[in-house]
Structure 1
Amino acid sequence: MEKYLEIIKNSYSSYWNYLKNSVFMELNWENYFYGLIIISLIVWGLEAIFPWRKNQSLFRKDFWLDTFYMFFNFFLLNLIVLIALSNSASELFNDVLGIVGLSIKNFQLLEINKLPFFTRIFIFFIVVDFVQWWTHRLLHRVEFLWNFHKVHHSVKQMGFAAHLRYHWMEPVVYNSLKYIPLAIIGGFSAKDIAFVHFFNITIGHLNHANINWDYGGLKYIFNNPKMHIWHHSRELPKERKYGVNFGITLSIWDYIFKTNYIPHSGRDIELGFEGDENFPKGFIQQEMYPLGRKD
């Protein structure tokens, strides 16, 4: 137990120092703080230049709530929960394997660090996106998890910052399910992770943005605003009641597994979910909502 408490303590200390260094610009390419700000401002500018819903304000409904969510989930949530949880869970997993004389290295399939940079990046990106796609389907399929995911689907007007409106439990689920496959192909550098992370954040912002784009032929590979808006549709056919268009960065999984759905232009469709008129409107209330559910 003492070992795990030390891991948690060191995790908080290290991440707090990282966060300070980010804000005071003492980092270079791995500065997620200003990276997020730059990406957000660029995509927000694109919303102003290429609006899909021209009558939607740049300061749309819940703009400031989503902006708060964006910074809370991207930075403070890591400080409060995820870094310590990930590090201690990783150590616990290795300790359990150690009981039977194994370590995570026994399961590693590739010496990934010996591969060329873009090969490593491609493998990391594909594995992460595929696991996240299945996890996303799980969030819609399991009622307990859906109650947490409702926070994200409570968005009533799409804009870039809606990308990071989600309950703190979601990254716990995503990270837990990503850990084992990534550990098996481990050896990625911080630069590898940052490269993929910034790319995914950019595509995720664009998916939720009020932009009149579908990327042409690339729409069958990359998720896009005209596809993702149907994922947020309040009404779907009964045979699609568990959702559609689950792609995070890539849309190709939806086309492969037949969960794609774009019946017509979704520019003016109503967003949300059944019963969302009774869903809490404030940050604290939304965070507490799933914890008070009886069903």
Structure 2
Amino acid sequence: MEEIFNEIWNGYAGYANYLWHEITHPSWHNYFYWLIGLSLFFFALEWIKPWNEHQPKFRKDFWLDVFYMFFNFFLFSLVIYNAASNVVVLFFNRMLESIGITNLVALEVMSWPVWAHLLLGFVVRDFVQWNTHRLLHRVPFLWEFHKVHHSVEQMGFAAHLRYHWMETIVYRSIEYIPLALIGIGLRDFFIIHIFTLAIGHFNHSNIRVNLGPLAYIFNNPQMHKWHHAYHMPAQRHYGVNFGITLSLWDYLFKTDYIPYDGKEIKLGFPGVEKFPHSFWKQITYGFSRPKKINTTPREESAVASASEKQAV
């Protein structure tokens, strides 16, 4: 029991010291200032050359999303995640030791060239996240949490980090073992994380950049906006364009969908009009049983779309 309390205390104290050091010591290895720098960069692009020029510069829920950026990137770890994850990892390691496993690493990549183990770590993590993202859409109770991210009604860079804190737990839990098996180090994870942060900001931004053939590899605003579309295609109730950083997986597994330029398409999901707008109500959303459980998480989108067509 003492060991558990020590892990909890070390989690809180260690992360608090780390966060304070991040804020007071700007450097190239600093998550805090990378987040600010990348955010200002894409915000400037949205101001200078917006894709949807009719959208307000300070779009709907802009400041809510800015707060989400810092909450999900830093404050959630300070409040609970870091301490709780330390305890979970402790129990997990003890369980492995009880069956004679003391090292999860199955592939020693650190002896490879830097570019090789960075590429492997990035591709493995992105593929795991792509599949996890699909789960968030296909599993009804996970979709309830994911609705927070899809409650964005006007796209902008900061929408990237508007998501329910339960998503952090889901993503990190699922990707933990694959990344542990290939022995990705902290330096590699930092580089991968900053790169994916930049692409995530990019594909949520209100900008239009023609990537040419690279659009079949990397996610981008023109593609990701359709992921946030209010109406899903009738035959794709669960959603489309699940790519996090790479669009490659969607093209490989036929979940891609860009029917036309989506500059001014309606975003959200049927019922978003009644979705909570306050931060507190959003981060507590998903724990109470919904009044109506749909056959599929976004089947109501297809129904609503069909109804509109009939009305026309």
State the TM bucket, normalised to the shorter chain. over 0.9
Query: Letter of the aligned partner of 1:23 in structure 2?
Result: I
Of stretches 53-62 and 218-227 in structure 1, the one that deviates more from structure 2 is 53-62
Q: Which residue of 2 aligns with 1:14?
A: 14
Question: Which whole-Å CA distance do the structure 1 matches of 2:87 and 2:167 have between them?
Answer: 18
Alpha-carbon distance, 1:230 to partner: 0.3
Please report the TM-score for the alignment, with normalisation by the length of structure 1. 0.96
Counterparts in 2 of 1:88 and 1:30: CA distance versus 1, 3 Å: farther
Alpha-carbon distance, 1:46 to partner: 1.0
Listed one character per residue, the Cα deviations across residues 153-197 of structure 1 (whole Å, up to 9, x for unaligned) are 0000000000000000001000000011111111x3322111111
Alpha-carbon distance, 1:90 to partner: 1.8
Q: 1:148·1:290 contact (CA, 8 Å) conserved in 2? A: yes
Residue aligned with 1:30, SS: coil
Alpha-carbon distance, 1:133 to partner: 0.3
Query: Letter of the aligned partner of 1:170 in structure 2?
Result: E
Q: 1:148·1:170 contact (CA, 8 Å) conserved in 2? A: yes
Residues 246-265 of structure 1 mapped to structure 2, 5 A cutoff? 246-265=242-261
Question: Which whole-Å CA distance do the structure 2 matches of 1:174 and 1:164 have between them?
Answer: 14
Query: Letter of the aligned partner of 1:154 in structure 2?
Result: S
Query: Letter of the aligned partner of 1:17 in structure 2?
Result: N
Residues 150-161 of structure 1 mapped to structure 2, 5 A cutoff? 150-161=147-158
Structure 1 gap segments, 5+ residues each: none
Question: Which whole-Å CA distance do the structure 1 matches of 2:120 and 2:78 have between them?
Answer: 28
Question: Which whole-Å CA distance do the structure 2 matches of 1:244 and 1:120 have between them?
Answer: 30
Question: Which whole-Å CA distance do the structure 1 matches of 2:73 and 2:150 have between them?
Answer: 18
Q: 1:214·1:225 contact (CA, 8 Å) conserved in 2? A: no
- Share of identical aligned residues, percent? 55
Query: Letter of the aligned partner of 1:49 in structure 2?
Result: I
Alpha-carbon distance, 1:122 to partner: 0.6
Listed one character per residue, the Cα deviations across residues 86-117 of structure 1 (whole Å, up to 9, x for unaligned) are 222222111111222222x2x42211221121
Alpha-carbon distance, 1:4 to partner: 2.0
Whether 1:102 aligns to 2:101 is yes
Residue aligned with 1:291, SS: coil
Question: Which whole-Å CA distance do the structure 2 matches of 1:7 and 1:84 have between them?
Answer: 7
Question: Which whole-Å CA distance do the structure 1 matches of 2:251 and 2:203 have between them?
Answer: 17
Give every structure 1 segment of 4 or more consecutive aligned residues whose post-TM-superposition deviation is greater than 6 Å. none
Query: Letter of the aligned partner of 1:136 in structure 2?
Result: H
Q: Which residue of 2 aligns with 1:35?
A: 34
Q: Which residue of 1 aligns with 2:304?
A: none
Question: Which whole-Å CA distance do the structure 1 matches of 2:88 and 2:48 have between them?
Answer: 45
Question: Which whole-Å CA distance do the structure 2 matches of 1:135 and 1:79 have between them?
Answer: 24
Q: Which residue of 1 aligns with 2:84?
A: 85
Question: Which whole-Å CA distance do the structure 2 matches of 1:140 and 1:98 have between them?
Answer: 35
Please report the TM-score for the alignment, with normalisation by the length of structure 2. 0.90
Q: Which residue of 2 aligns with 1:270?
A: 266
Question: Which whole-Å CA distance do the structure 2 matches of 1:169 and 1:17 have between them?
Answer: 24
Whether 1:168 aligns to 2:165 is yes
Residues 130-279 of structure 1 mapped to structure 2, 5 A cutoff? 130-186=127-183, 188-279=184-275
Q: 1:206·1:224 contact (CA, 8 Å) conserved in 2? A: yes
Whether 1:74 aligns to 2:53 is no
Query: Letter of the aligned partner of 2:69 in structure 1?
Result: M
Alpha-carbon distance, 1:220 to partner: 0.2
Counterparts in 2 of 1:5 and 1:57: CA distance versus 1, 3 Å: same
Q: Which residue of 2 aligns with 1:47?
A: 46
Alpha-carbon distance, 1:58 to partner: 1.6
Q: Which residue of 1 aligns with 2:122?
A: 125
2:288 aligns with one of 262, 276, 292: 292
Query: Letter of the aligned partner of 1:216 in structure 2?
Result: G
Size of the aligned set, in residue pairs, is 291
Of stretches 198-207 and 115-124 in structure 1, the one that deviates more from structure 2 is 115-124
Question: Which whole-Å CA distance do the structure 2 matches of 1:228 and 1:3 have between them?
Answer: 45
